[in-house]
A and B are shown apart, each in its own frame.
Chain A
């Protein structure tokens, strides 16, 4: 490029945004009709590289607009404004079983977006790009506060929106993978909810040996939110994913303390009710361990551990007694948990009990277990640490990338609208600005 040809330019707008917002990727100053590849790269906190790319042809003005033009190859095709994010996969040669999850929520996901000449599928690292841009994607909006919680024996992180409030509250429960996962709570606080991400799978070590938490742990967490000066005590929701749903449903029905205003279940089940120590529940599930299957790549399929859905009412949460609205988000290709079958059974139970008007089910074909915030890369399987046994396995979550990614967008939108309707209390249908 001696200065005779125009200098290509790639623009991302906005260059900094919240992870659930769309961006616009525009390439300009190319020669018309040029084959190019638009490429996105993330260097994860675990030191892995994830990438996605689309093949385009510049128009007669020398432009490519990812939001309007069709990709004709690469990791996604068609008109996919956000394909550069949701179709990301680990680069060739990466360690197997990776999952992209942000641990440090004070810093953004940094996405390097470049345009290369030609339709490339590999060797991006060794090729000089025509132009580059950088986008930052944040889980936390400015002004959101992060507070570590260790009172009352709890282990969690509280995220508070800016301002005095009061705000609705939310108890955020992840699944059997355990640990303290903060990013969804950070994101929900960016939408105006005081959100408590709770670590509940880490066993407590006491004089009697290691044991799991019981009801009182979740009640203490709920009470913490209720009593917080910036929370509206009667507007607290529960959001559970996977095993977190079992906890949420169980607490909502059986706990005299926990009275959620509404409940969101992502890829969850009501089977094996949590009404006591988690240890009891795990022991119960373990009895079905022989139902564990493997796919052709020897990846674990755990969905049958809860199947068939029992008729015995003592083996499932009595959802007929639920008194708050419930949103069930279900992937029909969930290989980890029988979310579809459970949702159907819950619907029947609630119809029989006369409270099915409280139930909304959104069921997504081709969608797996890990229904994450939108534009998160889909993974069909990943490494998983079995807590008690301390062994690492590869678990099959399910889902096909395209339908799963569309489901993530829709499910998140439904979640936000559901929470806003029930916690902010006014039924307006203005969609959140999505750029």
Chain B
């Protein structure tokens, strides 16, 4: 849910017979025009608990000591590591005691509507005027995101808050919450061993711990935050780079690693003195799903379970057994498709019917449970079709009991840890052979 103009909301409310709500709003707006802040009164209080939370922990936000039945806006601001400003706003009315409680009260407009205790976090968007195609991803997981929460006067929209000097939108109160990917005591260890490139996250304590091999997609590089979060929940986790990382020899636009690399990564976990070698799972998103299924079925290692999010069971580009892919990802763009705005989609690339069946991971040889998560609005990967194909193959092999599917209507490709902002479109490092204006790429 992004923007709902207030007039549209009023129409909707009238349509369901809640005329009195809109009348109430008119009355409150009139009251808001009376400047309630008289000399000597302290500012209202905005509180958030806990003030330092893990990113998957809910935060209770409340405001107190405001006049009753008054429109206010709660705003969240965050400056990303790249210096971009992200913002979410929501419109509330104080109750009879002059309080707002985001655990209880519905937002009447803004970045989201309805009762959404964590809406200010998951609805964060780049402020108007930002560069296009931004995605909020933490690189340094050893420091938190500082989210600045403010209470503003009246019902304010993003374009109103850019220092126009009007009384509407004036900041009444502020608080700050730190959101962490790493719990205290979690250790981050850089891994450059046996050719394996990654970052290992260990929970506090002697262990041994269950472990996860954590694989992302063709965005490349090394994405650590999910592993940091898993370690914060008691699992050792190895975030593994396999593509587009400077420490992996070979061209950055090819997958230069193969079976031996993934086997070495799995064994690195198995041999770690603080890991239970028989309790290692593999988790993959997007292309990482294909890799996870490949690892679980063909590499003679035995993961305890696999979690796949929105990914294919096969790769259109052949994946050689030892040396990685023979073609760069960009070389064969025959199945890349573009919409009317010029956004590219890899959906066709990942359709099982477009992939030669000899390029599928042999899921029928899997011996461990698979949890497959589908975003039904995934426009980057044909997740639904892949889920169906995997389920069909496991069923044919008498292994239906291993398959669990979770489907989420309206969810896209990037199913991230909870309360993270959604990016419907984002920039990607890979460039298409043809340039389509605008140069936007959708993942």
Which of B65, B176, B203, B205 is the one whose CB lies under 8 Å from A162? B176
Q: How far is the CB of A354 from chain B (nearest CB, A)?
A: 28
State whether A3 touches B276 (Cβ < 8 A). Answer: yes
With known contacts A7-B234, A428-B99, A136–B43 Cβ distance under 8 A: no
Q: How far is the CB of B75 from chain A (nearest CB, A)?
A: 12
| Per-residue contact bits, chain B 46-62, to A (CB 8 Å; 1 contact, 0 not) | 11011111100100101
State whether A128 touches B50 (Cβ < 8 A). Answer: no
Residues from chain B with a CB closer than 8 A to the CB of A166 are 42-43
Determine the distance from Cα of A433 to Cα of B58 in the docked complex, in whole angstroms: 13
Is B184 close to A, CB under 8 A?
A: yes
State whether B208 touches A1 (Cβ < 8 A). Answer: yes
Determine the distance from Cα of A187 to Cα of B32 in the docked complex, in whole angstroms: 33
Q: How far is the CB of A309 from chain B (nearest CB, A)?
A: 37
B:179-202 near A, CB below 8 Å: 180, 183-185
Determine the distance from Cα of A280 to Cα of B367 in the docked complex, in whole angstroms: 85
Residues from chain A with a CB closer than 8 A to the CB of B178 are 16, 142
Which of B41, B43, B46, B47 is the one whose CB lies under 8 Å from A432? B47
Q: For residue B186, which residue of chain A has the nearest CB?
A: A134
State whether B205 touches A132 (Cβ < 8 A). Answer: yes
Q: For residue B210, which residue of chain A has the nearest CB?
A: A7
Residues from chain B with a CB closer than 8 A to the CB of A314 are none
Determine the distance from Cα of A132 to Cα of B231 in the docked complex, in whole angstroms: 12
A:154-177 near B, CB below 8 Å: 161-168
Determine the distance from Cα of A161 to Cα of B93 in the docked complex, in whole angstroms: 24
With known contacts A168-B42, A432-B47, A435-B50, A163–B173 Cβ distance under 8 A: yes
With known contacts A234-B40, A235-B42, A133–B208 Cβ distance under 8 A: no
State whether A425 touches B279 (Cβ < 8 A). Answer: no
State whether B54 touches A163 (Cβ < 8 A). Answer: no
| Per-residue contact bits, chain B 19-43, to A (CB 8 Å; 1 contact, 0 not) | 0000000000000000000001111
With an 8 Å Cβ cutoff, the count of chain B residues facing the other chain is 50
| Per-residue contact bits, chain A 101-113, to B (CB 8 Å; 1 contact, 0 not) | 0000000001010
With known contacts A163-B175, A232-B40, A128–B53 Cβ distance under 8 A: no
Q: For residue B208, which residue of chain A has the nearest CB?
A: A1
With known contacts A3-B278, A7-B209, A14–B176 Cβ distance under 8 A: no
Q: How far is the CB of B78 from chain A (nearest CB, A)?
A: 13
With an 8 Å Cβ cutoff, the count of chain A residues facing the other chain is 53
State whether A7 touches B279 (Cβ < 8 A). Answer: yes
Q: How far is the CB of B194 from chain A (nearest CB, A)?
A: 22
Residues from chain A with a CB closer than 8 A to the CB of B171 are 163-164
State whether B40 touches A15 (Cβ < 8 A). Answer: no
Which residues in B have some Cβ–Cβ distance to A below 8 Å? 40-43, 45-47, 49-54, 57, 60, 62, 64-65, 97-99, 146, 148, 150, 171, 173-178, 180, 183-185, 203-210, 232-234, 276-279
Listed A/B pairs (17) with beta-carbon separation below 8 Å:
A3-B277, A7-B210, A16-B51, A18-B50, A132-B205, A134-B183, A134-B185, A141-B51, A143-B148, A162-B174, A162-B176, A165-B42, A166-B43, A425-B41, A425-B65, A426-B64, A433-B60
Which residues in A have some Cβ–Cβ distance to B below 8 Å? 1-4, 7, 9-11, 13-18, 21, 110, 112, 114, 128-129, 131-136, 138, 141-143, 161-168, 190, 192, 232-235, 423-426, 428, 430, 432-433, 435
Closest 4 CB pairs of A and B: A132-B205, A134-B185, A3-B278, A143-B176
